[in-house]
Structure formats: C-alpha cells, structure tokens
C-alpha cells in the first residue's frame, strides 16, 4: 500500500474536508488511538503511566491551548502557566470545598480560567506585538500573587491545596491506569473539539488575524471578538490541563508548579514541536517530558546517581539549543519535519 | 512627610537600576529589532562569571575585565551564530530565539560555575546615614551613581560619537544603513556588547544585594514593564519609566501593601504598565506604527 | 441606462489630512448600481486613500458617506462596513500567507457564516452543513476565476499574478454589493491583464456586481469602465464617460504635467 492522494477520489465536499483525507493517515491515527487506549494501559508500568504519560497528555493539552493563541491567532502569551494554576485551584476548590462532582469541577476549572484569561486578553484590543506579549506577563504575576496572598483561594500558607481522592459516580479513581483513562478521554475530546475549531471558520479568522490583521478586519473579521475568543479558548485549555495535572499527577495544587519558567517552557514546546499545528503540540510536550528522562538514562550509564543540578543544566542547554536550532533550520518545528517526510512518501519511489 | 520622601528617594534609587536593565533591552531592540528575553540571563551569567573569577582569587579589576571579556564573546557568538541565520525572519521568531539563548545561558553558566547561591562582595561598604532626616545607605547610592553614569555615557555615546550615530542609523532603517556602508552584523555585535556590559553592571549590582543565583535572571521581569511604559524603542523612555516604576512600586508597597497582604511589588509595575498602555498603546515615548494599506 | 438611479454609495465633500498634508480635499463621488467606475489620477493623487475611506479603514476629517441611502456613523468599524456589503482587494497584496488558496477565499465568506463556537467545535449538523454549503459557493468562484489547480497551494508559494487573482476571488466570495479593486492589474503582463479585465467584466455583467477600481493602464480603463473620476493632488478634477475624460483638457494637463515633466 502506498501513501497516495491519487486513486482516492472524493465525490463530495464532506469527505474532502475530512480531518484525514488520505487513508494511510487515517489508519495511522487509528493505530495511535489503539496504542493510547489499549496497549499502553495494559503493558506500561505504573511509573510510565503516572509519571510520563499523564504529564505528557496534560502538557500537550496546555501546549495546544497556547498554540491556538500563538500559533493560530498570532497573539503570544508569556504567562500561560498562570492559567493552568487558575484551573487547578478553581477545580480543587469546587470539588474539595463545595463537593461538586469531579467532571463538572474540572469543567468549572476550565471555565473560570477562560473567564480570567478573557479578562487578561482585553489589552489585546488596544495593543499588539511585544507590548502585548509583555503585558500578558502581568497575568502571571498578578495571578501568582492572588493565589499566594488570598487565603480564601489557597486556604492556608504557601498557596498549597491538597487534591482530595477522586470519584466519579462513586467509582474511585485511585490507580494510575484509572487516572490515565480520565486524562486521556478528556484530552481526546478536547483535542477533537480544538481540531474542529481551527479548521473551521473561527480557525480561518484566527489565521487571517495572525497573517495580516488589518486586511482581516477589512474583509469582515471581527478582530476584537475573535481575539478575545482566542484568549478564552486558549486559557480554557490551559485551565483544564492545569486541573488534570493537579488531580492526576501532582496530587496538590502548588503555585511553584505553575511558575513563570513553566510558561516559558510551554513556549519552547510549541516552537520545537511546531507553531500552528496540533501534532506539534504533542511532539513538543513529549519532547519536554521525555528529555530529562533521556538525559538521566544516558548519564546513568556513566554514574550511579545523576545530581539533579547537572541534570537540569544539561536539560536547559539541550532545550535552549534546540529552540535556536529549530528556529534556524526548521522554523515550523518537528511537525514540519514530519510533513516533509510525508511529502517525500507521496512521491516515493519516483521522486521526479 | 519625611518618611514619604525617604520611601520616594529609595524608590528612585531602585528605579535607576531598573532603567539600567531596561536600557539593555531598548538598545538591542533599537539596533536589531530583537526583543531580547535573555537579558536577565545575561546578567546572571555575568554575576556567575564574576564570582567565579573572584573565587579564583583574581583581583577585582581583573575579574571584572574577564567578565566583560566573556560578555564580548557572548555578544559576538549570539550575533554570528544565532542572529545572522535569522536575518529577515519575522520579529516573533527572533524573539523566540532569545528564549533559546536564555535557556542556553542559564544552563551553560550554571554548569560551569554551579547552581548554589553565592554571595558577591566587591567591597562597597553598606553604611546607613541620614540627610535631613532621610535615611539612605552608601551601597544604594554608589550603584545608583554608577548606573546614572552609565546611562549618561550611553546617551552621550549614541548622540555624539561616530559609532553611536552609525548604530542609530542602523536602528532607523536596516537597508538604508547597509546602502551607505554600515556593516549590519558588526553594528549588531557592538550593540550586543554594550548590552552585555549593561547586563554586567546590573548583574553585579543586584548580585551583591541579593546574592548570585538562578533568580538573578528574574530582574528582567522588573525591567519589562519599565520598557513598555517608556516605549520599547525609546532610550529616554526607559530612563523615565524606570524612575516611575521604582518610585511607584516602592510607594505602593509601603503605603498600600499592608492593607492587601504585602508583596505587591511583584506585579505593581505591570499594573502601571497596563494603565499607561491603555492610554498610549506604544508607551510614553515609543514610536507609533502607522499602518498603510 | 439613462434613467435616474439612486447611487449605491455617495461620498460627499470628503477631506482628510495626514501630518499637515491634505490627501483629499472636499472630494465628492457617486457609485451607481451595476456600473464599473474607475478612479484614476497620477501617483499620490489620493486614489487609495479614497478607497480606504469608502471601506472605513480611514475616517475622514470632514464629509460623509452615504451607503444605500443611509449615512454611515462616524466611527463605524471596518468589519461592520464589510458586513454591509463592501469588499475590496489591496494594492500591495494582502493575502493570508499562512493559508491555502481555499482558506483565503473561505475567510472572504466569514460574514456570511453564522454557526457559533460550540457548534463549530462539535462540527455537528448546522455547522457541518454550513461549512459544506460555503465550500460549494467557494468552488463556484474558483471555477469562475479558473484557479482550480492552485486550490490547495499555500498562498505564500503563489506567483504574483495568481495572488492578485486569489485576492479578487476572496473579495468576490463575500458577495458584496460594492466591490473595490485597488490596481488589480498592476505589475502584470499583457496576457494577465486581459485575463483580469475579462474577469472584471464578467463579474459585472454576468454576476451583476457593482465595481469601483483604481488602475493606471488607461487602455484597460477606457475599455471596460462606464464612468471615470479623475483625482489630482487630492482634488477631483474631472468626471464623466471615457470619451469625455479623453477630451478633458484638465485631465490631459494633469497627466502630461506629471508624466511628461
């Protein structure tokens, strides 16, 4: 079987506008789904599931949210981790303090985050470019301060809230595999919605704003509305991701986990993975989660215990080096590399 | 009232330091349209290097000289290995590239000189004294003096010297500058060297106050609101906005802080910035971008 | 065509100043339904500025715009003006380079699509039906302009002539009541110019669009336009049919004055 567009005719627009118009892509996607839904939970160790796959999915979700804002709508935010914090604290308070069921609590975390995000997106109506980028840092510092200093939010000192045990309809989510399924299902659902958004009219409006904002407005795109929607959707994803990672991985909401360096790392993820692609969000997040483990493993061959400072330094060097390298060599990230390979496959074995 | 002035003056002294860091950003932005997120990391690197050389029992002047040497190497390698391949890419890409540089500098600096917090003492005494009932100390005054001197000499350099004028020409229009024979990359390198020296002074000043450690890189976050208040491409803007922010946040911390739980210094500058940008979207002195169809 | 018709757009006494320079000085013009009108004039005469005012990108210092019999509020946003039915192309190409030809043209229909964000996220029923309907409409425009083969090409990889054509397609996709074309043939060779001229005529005659265009090529303008307005240094110096304009001494002077030095 070849990877081909031809011989594969579409007789209506619906199939031409499908997410994967080429059959082999569709099969590949199904294989990935089976892998994620069945093979990994059955075969992977608890360590892999709870310490690698769960944070990977959560960061991918958050990176996708940032990608909507930066990669599609062209409005960069350098305070994105703060919205993960908003989602985390909001859902914990809803679930733990007010006894609202788990799934509505997580959704609530996303909605609160989206509301806060829309508020901090308001400057985008008047300012743009670097001025906007820096003013998004305001969200990071203001949210951090509110969480640490308002006792109502953090419920105590140091801004830490423990995550209570999770239950859905009386069914306890206590094993890594069960948590994994929770994260995976929500993630798949949200990514599907996101894919529909970015390939639909809203996504096209966003890209128009990103490419030439004044032309978009003259053509009839409602700049203000669509920019704010981009902030809302993007921070909604961040909020859900923050809530999931707190419930299923950290076990407690701690403001240190949503530090400004996490915001920077999210930007790094979407650059390395690929701006404006969904695949890129996953590749970038996967890279970010796996990098320290890979370094640890390879250094482990030389020494028994790898000191954490050396680990984090090497991590920073590789992460930074790759950001620069990708921007120079392949500005559209790993996702573009993948597309280049696919383009070659389309012509294989007769490239000329 | 005396207390108010004491707070105000200390805030202004702090503000001069903010101006200095913001100036590093503004210089690079003016010359190469690059918004350099690595500015804070450059200060960290300078601080680490200086402590490192002092620990090797270099005399202070030699250690400073070697640190500046490192900043020069850094400037040239940034320009030739990172910026040169990225010429003519959209500003957003260059901006993101500086994120990469930031990670690189932090990683490399801490690999060489370690991650522990270190004290930095370059022998400036910290003696408190009073003038007309206003409490001040020599350390703050000294560094405010150095910063003011540096700011003044930079303004002089850009207004009066031949190189400075060439750099200004580059910042106004890259292609026009090239066409009259100003080598672009060399001009950029010079700008990055200057920004590196500014970062060194900032790193030393803040490092001696707070200790040299990872969080030293965060002083950039103080300078960013300063920058957008003043207008990214404006040098006088950076200076005036630095004073506004320094005075504003110190006054706010002392007079408003106790009512809301303190610690508002971290975000108060951003509030000022949002307020200013609401009325002037390009800062107080920034160049307005007029769009044409 | 001699009966008195209410003009679709009337601009009255439009003045605008840029940094002390009067770009337009009390210019009035009318665009009648169903016609192709040209705005001509030497460089810097204020032609593009006039278009920018008509579609609301610039706000005039003085004067008013009446569109379909209603006066336009002073601070109306460009996207609302587009929604009233004014579409345009740009002198210095403004395609969305990150999207394909198809994507660009679909953006042109943004005002005609109404499904909300939740419906779009689910891609369910109404939203899917709407997307398919509009895709079909866009395909008709693609057929009309004969750009089928570049449907999926990223706009950034198109050659100049085709970019202009895609821009025209994007403007047509909005199904405007008034179509503004800013130098649709600038920088093209003869063959490409003829193509565009034919498309403009077809759009006017077959599809019934009202068109106002700016063009420097006098041959084309004289051939395809019903009426011409001549601007010079921000003032209207003549108005009339192509034959009247050709004979107008003021126009000849303005053109020779700049072209001949």
* Range(s) of the domain holding residue B221: 2-279
The answer to whether residue C256 scores a pLDDT higher than 80 is no
Residues of C in contact with B293 (CB under 8 A): 48, 52, 57, 90-92, 94, 182
CA-based nearest distance B125→chain A, Å = 33
CA-based nearest distance A233→chain C, Å = 10
The CA distance from B22 to B40, in Å, is: 10
Q: Write out pLDDT tens, residues A229-251.
A: 999 999 999 999 999 999 999 88
- The confidence band for B85, taking pLDDT boundaries of 50, 70 and 90, is confident
Of B144-148, B164-168, C202-206, C213-217, the one with minimum mean pLDDT is B164-168
- Closest residue to C107, CB basis, from A194, A204, A233: A204
Q: Write out pLDDT tens, residues C12-29.
A: 999 998 877 888 989 999
Mean pLDDT of C160-172: 92
Residue C195's H or E segment, with its range, is helix C190-205
Find which of A261-270, B30-39, C252-261 is predicted with most confidence, using mean pLDDT: A261-270
Q: Which domains does chain A have, with CATH numbers?
A: 44-347 (1.10.3470)
- The confidence band for C167, taking pLDDT boundaries of 50, 70 and 90, is very high
Q: Is B286 within a domain?
A: no
The answer to whether residue C258 scores a pLDDT higher than 60 is no
- Direct distance between the N- and C-terminal alpha carbons of chain C, in angstroms, rounded to an integer: 39
Partner B contacted by C92 (CB < 8 A): yes
pLDDT > 90 in chain B, percent: 12
Q: Is B92 within a domain?
A: yes
The Cα angle at residue A70 between residues A64 and A73, in degrees rounded to 5: 105
Mean pLDDT of chain A: 85
Task: Show which of residues 48-107 on chain A sit within 8 Å of chain C, judged by CB atoms.
Answer: none
- Closest residue to C99, CB basis, from A13, A207, A222: A207
Q: Write out pLDDT tens, residues B88-111.
A: 777 777 888 898 999 999 899 888
pLDDT > 90 in chain A, percent: 38
CA-based nearest distance A136→chain B, Å = 9
Mean pLDDT of chain B: 83
The CA distance from C30 to C6, in Å, is: 9
pLDDT of residue A174: 82
The answer to whether residue A351 scores a pLDDT higher than 70 is no
pLDDT of residue B184: 78
pLDDT of residue A2: 54
Hey, of B101, B260, B267, B268, which one would you mutate to test binding to chain A, going by the most A CBs within 10 A of its CB?
Answer: B267
The CA distance from B245 to B240, in Å, is: 9
Other CB atoms within 10 A of residue A192 CB:
15
pLDDT > 70 in chain A, percent: 88
Residues of A in contact with B263 (CB under 8 A): 145, 148-149
Partner C contacted by B260 (CB < 8 A): no
Helix, coil or strand: residue B36: coil
Task: Show which of residues 224-283 on chain A sit within 8 Å of chain C, judged by CB atoms.
Answer: 229, 233, 276
CA-based nearest distance B293→chain C, Å = 7
Question: Could you tell me how many CB contacts below 8 A there are between chain A and chain B?
Answer: 149
Mean pLDDT of B254-274: 84
Look at B267 and A138 and tell me if their CB atoms are within 8 Å. Answer: yes
The answer to whether residue C201 scores a pLDDT higher than 90 is yes
The answer to whether residue A291 scores a pLDDT higher than 80 is yes
Residue B2's H or E segment, with its range, is helix B2-32
Task: Show which of residues 319-338 on chain A sit within 8 Å of chain C, judged by CB atoms.
Answer: none
* Nearest by Cα to A65 from A194, A243, A244, A256: A194
Q: Write out pLDDT tens, residues C64-94.
A: 999 988 889 988 889 999 999 999 999 888 8
Q: Is B292 within a domain?
A: no
CA-based nearest distance A78→chain B, Å = 11
pLDDT of residue B285: 83
- Name the residue ranges covered by the structural domains of chain C: 9-99+160-259
Residues of A in contact with B267 (CB under 8 A): 138, 141-142, 144-145
The answer to whether residue B117 scores a pLDDT higher than 90 is no
Q: Write out pLDDT tens, residues A121-142.
A: 998 888 888 888 888 888 999 9
The Cα angle at residue B171 between residues B166 and B173, in degrees rounded to 5: 95
CA-based nearest distance B291→chain C, Å = 10
The Cα angle at residue B17 between residues B12 and B22, in degrees rounded to 5: 115
- Read off the pTM: 0.89
Q: Indicate the burial class of C175 (C-beta count within 10 angstroms; 0-12, 13-18, 19 or more).
A: middle
CA-based nearest distance B105→chain A, Å = 8
Look at B271 and A138 and tell me if their CB atoms are within 8 Å. Answer: yes
Look at C110 and A219 and tell me if their CB atoms are within 8 Å. Answer: yes
pLDDT of residue C257: 61
Instruction: Record the tokens describing residue C219, joined without a space.
Output: 């041959």
The answer to whether residue B253 scores a pLDDT higher than 90 is no
The answer to whether residue B140 scores a pLDDT higher than 60 is yes
The CA distance from B54 to B81, in Å, is: 30
pLDDT of residue B60: 86
Residue environment code for A36-58, b if the CB has 16+ CB neighbours within 10 A, otherwise e: beeebbeebeeebbbebbbbbbb
CA distances to A47, A320, B97, B187, C44 from A38, in Å: 17, 35, 39, 58, 68
Query: Which comes out higher in pLDDT, residue A351 or B246?
Result: B246
The answer to whether residue B163 scores a pLDDT higher than 90 is no
Mean pLDDT of A9-15: 67
Q: Is B285 within a domain?
A: no
Instruction: Record the tokens describing residue B44, joined without a space.
Output: 């960290």
Partner C contacted by A22 (CB < 8 A): no
pLDDT of residue B205: 84
Q: How far is CA B16 from the centre of its chain?
A: 10
The CA distance from A125 to A121, in Å, is: 8
Tell me which chains share at least 3 CB pairs under 8 Å with chain B.
A, C
- Closest residue to A313, CB basis, from B102, B111, B260: B111
The CA distance from A237 to A66, in Å, is: 8
Of A342-346, B19-23, B88-92, B216-220, the one with minimum mean pLDDT is A342-346
pLDDT of residue A9: 60
pLDDT of residue B222: 82
Report the CATH number at residue B258: 1.10.3470
- The confidence band for A271, taking pLDDT boundaries of 50, 70 and 90, is confident
Q: Indicate the burial class of B176 (C-beta count within 10 angstroms; 0-12, 13-18, 19 or more).
A: exposed
pLDDT > 70 in chain B, percent: 96
Query: Which comes out higher in pLDDT, residue A19 or C204?
Result: C204
Of A312-316, B114-118, C68-72, the one with minimum mean pLDDT is B114-118
CA-based nearest distance C90→chain B, Å = 7
Helix, coil or strand: residue C109: coil
Find the residue in A nearest to C96 (Cα).
A211
Other CB atoms within 10 A of residue C248 CB:
17
Residue indicated by tokens 């449907």: C151
Residues recorded for chain A: 352
Tell me which chains share at least 3 CB pairs under 8 Å with chain A.
B, C
pLDDT of residue B67: 92
Domain count, chain B: 1
Residue C84's H or E segment, with its range, is helix C78-84
Find the residue in B nearest to A125 (Cα).
B278
Helix, coil or strand: residue A162: strand
Q: Are B93 and A76 in contact (CB under 8 A)?
A: no
Look at A141 and B221 and tell me if their CB atoms are within 8 Å. Answer: yes
Mean pLDDT of A207-224: 91
Residues of A in contact with B228 (CB under 8 A): 130-131, 134-135
Residues of A in contact with C88 (CB under 8 A): 218
Mean pLDDT of A307-320: 85
A211 Rama sector, left if φ>0, alpha if ψ -120 to 50, beta otherwise: alpha
Three-state DSSP string of C1-61: CCCCCCCCEEEEEEEEEECCEEEEEEEEEEECCCCEEEEECCCCCCHHHHHHHHCCCCCCC
Residue B215 main-chain phi, psi, to 5 deg:
-70, -10
Hey, of B96, B261, B262, B287, which one would you mutate to test binding to chain A, going by the most A CBs within 10 A of its CB?
Answer: B96
* Nearest by Cα to B50 from B100, B104, B112, B143: B112
Instruction: Record the tokens describing residue A99, joined without a space.
Output: 């006894």
Tell me which chains share at least 3 CB pairs under 8 Å with chain C.
A, B
CA distances to B293, C1, C24, C182 from C49, in Å: 9, 29, 8, 10
pLDDT of residue B115: 77
Q: Write out pLDDT tens, residues C208-248.
A: 999 999 988 888 888 899 999 999 888 899 899 988 888 88
Mean pLDDT of C47-73: 90
The CA distance from C96 to C78, in Å, is: 18
* Nearest by Cα to B6 from B124, B127, B132: B132
Q: Is B186 within a domain?
A: yes
pLDDT of residue C2: 44
pLDDT of residue A45: 87
Q: Are B235 and B284 in contact (CB under 8 A)?
A: no
pLDDT of residue A32: 86
Partner B contacted by C21 (CB < 8 A): no
- DSSP codes joined into one string, A25-45: HHHHHHHHHHIIIIIHHHHS-
Q: Are B18 and B226 in contact (CB under 8 A)?
A: yes
* Nearest by Cα to C213 from C69, C78, C41: C41
- Closest residue to A313, CB basis, from B91, B107, B224: B107
| Fold for the domain defined by C9-99+160-259 | Rossmann fold (3.40.50)
Hey, of A208, A216, A221, which one would you mutate to test binding to chain C, going by the most C CBs within 10 A of its CB?
Answer: A208
pLDDT of residue A162: 77
Task: Show which of residues 109-168 on chain B sit within 8 Å of chain A, judged by CB atoms.
Answer: 110-111, 114-115
Q: Are C107 and C99 in contact (CB under 8 A)?
A: yes
Residues recorded for chain C: 261
Look at A211 and C170 and tell me if their CB atoms are within 8 Å. Answer: no
Query: Which comes out higher in pLDDT, residue C172 or C257?
Result: C172
Crossing angle for the helix pair A130-149 and A260-273, nearest 10 degrees?
A: 140
Find the residue in C nearest to A12 (Cα).
C132
Look at A197 and C121 and tell me if their CB atoms are within 8 Å. Answer: yes
- The confidence band for C1, taking pLDDT boundaries of 50, 70 and 90, is very low
Partner A contacted by B214 (CB < 8 A): no
- DSSP codes joined into one string, B42-96: HHHHHHHHHHHHHHTT--HHHHHHHHHHHHHHHHHHIIIIIIGGGTTS-HHHHHH
């Amino acid at each position: 079987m070849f990877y081909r567009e031809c011989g594969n005719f579409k007789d209506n627009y619906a199939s031409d506008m499908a997410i994967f118009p080429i059959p082999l892509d569709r099969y590949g996607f199904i294989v990935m789904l089976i892998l994620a839904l069945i093979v990994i939970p059955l075969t992977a160790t608890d360590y892999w599931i709870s310490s690698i796959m769960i944070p990977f999915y959560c960061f991918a979700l958050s990176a996708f949210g940032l990608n909507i804002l930066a990669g599609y709508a062209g409005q960069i935010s350098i305070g994105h981790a703060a919205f993960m914090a908003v989602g985390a604290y909001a859902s914990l308070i809803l679930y733990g303090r007010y006894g609202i069921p788990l799934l509505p609590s997580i959704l609530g975390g996303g909605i609160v985050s989206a509301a806060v995000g829309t508020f901090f997106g308001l400057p985008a109506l008047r300012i743009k470019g670097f001025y906007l980028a820096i003013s998004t840092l305001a969200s990071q510092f203001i949210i951090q301060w509110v969480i640490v200093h308002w006792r109502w939010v953090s419920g105590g000192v140091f801004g830490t809230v423990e995550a209570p045990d999770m239950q859905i309809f009386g069914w306890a989510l206590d094993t890594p595999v069960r948590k994994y399924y929770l994260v995976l299902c929500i993630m798949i659902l949200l990514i599907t919605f996101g894919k529909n958004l970015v390939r639909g009219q809203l996504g096209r409006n966003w890209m128009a704003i990103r490419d030439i904002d004044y032309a978009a407005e003259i053509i009839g795109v409602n700049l203000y509305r669509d920019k704010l929607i981009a902030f809302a959707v993007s921070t909604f994803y961040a909020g859900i991701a923050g809530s999931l990672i707190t419930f299923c991985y950290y076990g407690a909401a701690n403001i240190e986990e949503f530090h400004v360096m996490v915001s920077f790392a999210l930007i790094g993820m979407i650059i390395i993975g690929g701006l404006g692609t969904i695949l890129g969000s996953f590749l970038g997040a996967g890279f970010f989660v796996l990098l320290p483990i890979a370094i640890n493993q390879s250094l482990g061959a030389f020494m028994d215990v790898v000191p954490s400072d050396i680990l984090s330094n090497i991590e920073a060097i590789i992460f930074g080096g790759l950001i620069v390298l990708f921007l120079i060599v392949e500005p559209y990230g790993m996702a573009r590399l993948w597309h280049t390979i696919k383009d070659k496959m389309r012509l294989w074995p007769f490239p000329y | 009232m005396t207390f108010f002035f004491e707070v105000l003056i200390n805030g202004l002294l702090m503000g001069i330091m903010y101006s200095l860091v913001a100036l590093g950003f503004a210089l690079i932005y003016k010359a190469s349209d690059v918004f350099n997120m690595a500015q804070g990391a450059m200060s960290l690197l300078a601080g680490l290097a200086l402590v490192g050389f002092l620990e090797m029992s270099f005399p202070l002047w030699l250690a400073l000289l070697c640190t500046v040497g490192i900043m020069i190497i850094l400037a040239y390698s940034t320009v030739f290995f990172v910026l040169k391949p990225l010429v003519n890419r959209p500003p957003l890409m260059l901006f993101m590239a500086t994120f990469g540089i930031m990670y690189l500098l932090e990683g490399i600096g801490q690999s060489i000189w370690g991650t522990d917090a270190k004290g930095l003492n370059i022998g400036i005494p910290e003696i408190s004294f009073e003038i007309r009932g206003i409490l001040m100390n020599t350390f703050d005054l000294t560094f405010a003096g150095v910063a003011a001197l540096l700011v003044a000499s930079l303004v002089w350099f850009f207004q009066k010297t031949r190189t400075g004028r060439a750099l200004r020409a580059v910042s106004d229009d890259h292609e026009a500058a090239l066409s009259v024979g100003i080598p672009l990359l060399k001009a950029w390198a010079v700008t990055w060297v200057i920004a590196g020296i500014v970062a060194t002074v900032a790193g030393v000043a803040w490092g001696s106050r707070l200790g040299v450690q990872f969080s030293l890189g965060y002083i950039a976050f103080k300078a960013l609101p300063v920058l957008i208040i003043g207008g990214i491409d404006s040098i006088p803007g950076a200076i005036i906005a630095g004073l506004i922010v320094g005075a504003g946040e110190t006054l706010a911390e002392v007079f408003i802080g106790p009512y809301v739980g303190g610690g508002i210094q971290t975000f108060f500058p951003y509030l000022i910035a949002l307020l200013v940008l609401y009325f002037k979207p390009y800062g107080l002195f920034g160049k307005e971008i007029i769009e044409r169809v | 065509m001699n009966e008195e018709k209410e003009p679709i757009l009337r601009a009255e006494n439009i003045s605008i100043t840029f940094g002390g320079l009067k770009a337009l000085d009390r210019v009035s013009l009318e665009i009648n339904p169903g016609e192709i009108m040209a705005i001509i004039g030497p460089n810097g005469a204020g032609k593009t500025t006039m278009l920018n005012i008509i579609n609301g990108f610039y706000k005039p210092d003085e004067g008013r715009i009446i569109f379909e019999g209603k006066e336009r509020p002073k601070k109306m946003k460009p996207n609302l003006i587009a929604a009233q039915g004014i579409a345009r192309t740009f002198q210095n190409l403004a395609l969305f380079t990150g999207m394909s030809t198809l994507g660009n043209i679909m953006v042109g229909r943004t005002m005609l699509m109404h499904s909300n964000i939740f419906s779009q996220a689910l891609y369910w029923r109404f939203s899917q039906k709407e997307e398919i309907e509009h895709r079909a409409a866009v395909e008709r425009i693609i057929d009309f302009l004969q750009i089928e083969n570049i449907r999926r090409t990223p706009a950034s990889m198109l050659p100049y002539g085709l970019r202009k054509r895609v821009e025209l397609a994007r403007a047509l996709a909005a199904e405007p009541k008034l179509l503004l074309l800013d130098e649709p043939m600038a920088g093209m060779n003869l063959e490409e110019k003829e193509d565009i001229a034919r498309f403009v005529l077809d759009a006017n005659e077959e599809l019934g669009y009202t068109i106002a265009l700016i063009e420097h090529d006098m041959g084309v303008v004289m051939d395809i336009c019903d009426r011409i307005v001549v601007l010079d240094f921000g003032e209207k110096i003549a108005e009339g049919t192509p034959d009247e304009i050709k004979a107008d001494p003021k126009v000849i002077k303005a053109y020779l004055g700049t072209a001949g030095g």
